[in-house]
Copies of this chain bind each other. A is one copy, B any other.
């Protein structure tokens, strides 16, 4: 899974019917401190009610369809968790606690 940050939303009225009712978010790959890695944002479906600014776990490829209620959905990127803490080499590089 990749560390990503929720940056915004995408609206598509005309779409595959299986996408209806799923929130589409704009996400950007991030590093272990939660900073942007600079690539072009992609579009992911959200199953855990993530919000703008959240650092999240992104699953890609066919495994995305194993998330809740996604088994028959044409989706290749899903947000499956909101990150609380990242620890690397013994340092806390990201935390939502203050």
Q: Which residues of A contact B (CB under 8 A)?
A: 1-3, 7-19, 24, 26, 29, 31-32, 37, 40-44, 47-48, 52, 57, 59-68, 70, 72-78, 80-90, 93
Q: Which residues of B contact A3 (CB under 8 A)?
A: 10, 40-43
Query: Would you call B13 and A88 a contact (CB within 8 A)?
Result: no
Copies of this polypeptide in the complex: 5
- A61: chain B residues at CB < 8 Å are 61-63, 76
Smallest CB gap from A73: residue in B: B66
Cα distance A70–B1 in the bound complex, in angstroms? 14
Q: Is B48's CB under 8 angstroms from A15's CB?
A: yes
Q: Contact between A14 and B48 (Cβ–Cβ < 8 Å)?
A: yes
